Chains A and B, each alone.
Chain A
């Protein structure tokens, strides 16, 4: 294993505070680790741990706070903090979401869906350009889980995401769980969604768990990052790999976080699926 550098086309795990000490002590056999950028923007213990861990593992910075869909643009101070963290950690990848979370100067602490319109597309592209110019590197943009659609949306989400990549040069972080959740919630065809994502621009895959809720007598799936990956999502993951090739794959857990050993075991399953189904034509840079 090595520290700073490209993220390998292998299974990685989300690094959370409760595992800092165990990771340093046990050095688990995973290819890389990903952290939430916003959790490491302060001083003190967390960033000290991350700087120690990055000596052994390539690190990806995954944000929830850029608000790439904000019509008011990117918060310059937040972008500066991300740029500082990027300089300190030298991550293999930097990513955030196709969503907005800041409006009227308020951070809404969720990844909120955008209307799929040309106006929103132009806004996202402008914001992605702004981030990439500041960081001097391409970022990955992740497809969201969504629980609502807007009446005036006119562009299918996968096409919207592909257009963002084509216009800005960014890559796509393909969250298989999010594809499945949104497809179930809105009656989309998950396989068709994958087919609409161009090959060659996907730089990373996410796997996570979701929960089911009964609302108005109907079931809605909610991306909660608090349960094991659903079998249907494993199946969709295996279906996606021949199309997109061997890529970095991340197991995300943010709630009900299991022991490091259990997390590594789940990552081992992702590695096995990757080895079985991922053709070696698309290793991530």
Chain B
């Protein structure tokens, strides 16, 4: 008689890797083969997780088509199944998977689109944390302000891409084929700050290289007094004020 552990492990092998042998030997065959019964569960598993990925990566799905996406999702699920039922965190490595997914090799921009979509999903679902506000900062003494170490709000991500993935995503979701066809697809480094705004909506903001470097410095662990000095450029001060007003920073680690 198999132990419970043997049964459970046999279902992992059967449902994720199609290695049905052990599981089938444990199942009553009364007119419907054990493999067919397991296929019902495999369909639920793969179908359910594919729907989750589809919900997070709708632009990727539209770019490659439902059949291609389902095939990619099935391979990803087998390679990187979720570890828990909290599926809002599932799909974090899908963009990296797409870079290795041979059938998508000709679609070099696809992983970047997935990175942007993941950041948007993360922005929507990130834990609720009170952000540091301009008023909150102003209420601190000068010494306390200088000693502050800023951290990104849990919903904030800086995405670096080579392709204009934000525009691709937008045009694909809008169904604007003309704009999509007219995109300048010259590879170059791009930075995108993605964040949940006060209304709960994910917002995307392009940063140039200088701004991206400054934002990275703001979040590097250095004190605010060491970053914002009399020599700080007006452009950087303006960007800091914009990010502060948008609720991009929190105090303390996420």
Contacts and interface: CB of A to CB of B under 8 A. Distances in A.
Contacts of A25: none
Interface string B1-30: 111110111011001100000000011101
Given A65-B85, A151-B26, A109 B8 contact: no
Contacts of B2: 115, 152
A216 B32 contact: yes
Nearest to A222: B40
Given A65-B86, A220-B40, A42 B127 contact: yes
Contacts of A19: none
Interface stretch (A75-83, A155-163, A198-206, A235-243): A75-83
A-side interface size class: 35 or more
A276 interface: no
A109 B82 contact: yes
A1 interface: no
A123 interface: yes
B41 A78 contact: no
Interface string A92-119: 0000000011111111111010110101
A112 B11 contact: yes
Contact of B124 (A44, A123, A213): A44
A215 interface: yes
A110 B41 contact: yes
Interface in B40-64: 40-41, 44-45, 48-49
Interface residues of B, number: 47
A109 B44 contact: yes
Given A38-B87, A45-B124, A104 B7 contact: no
Contacts of A120: 4
Contacts of B15: 108, 110
Given A44-B196, A103-B12, A110-B48, A119 B3 contact: yes
A104 B126 contact: no
Contacts of B84: 65, 75, 77-78, 102, 107
B33 interface: yes
A164 to B, nearest CB: 15
Contacts of A75: 84
A47 B32 contact: no
Interface in B201-244: none
A64 B85 contact: yes
- The CB with the most chain B CB atoms within 10 A, among A67, A109, A123, A152, is that of A109
Contact of B26 (A70, A100, A150, A222): A150
Given A65-B85, A218-B31, A218-B32, A43 B37 contact: no
Nearest to A41: B86
Given A41-B88, A78-B84, A218-B32, 12 more contacts: A45-B124, A69-B4, A100-B8, A103-B9, A104-B12, A106-B12, A107-B84, A117-B1, A148-B34, A148-B38, A151-B27, A215-B32
19 contacts: A41-B86, A43-B154, A47-B128, A75-B84, A78-B84, A102-B85, A103-B8, A103-B12, A105-B83, A106-B16, A106-B83, A108-B16, A108-B45, A110-B15, A110-B45, A150-B27, A215-B36, A216-B33, A218-B32
Interface of B: 1-5, 7-9, 11-12, 15-16, 26-28, 30-34, 36-38, 40-41, 44-45, 48-49, 81-88, 124-129, 154-155, 196, 200
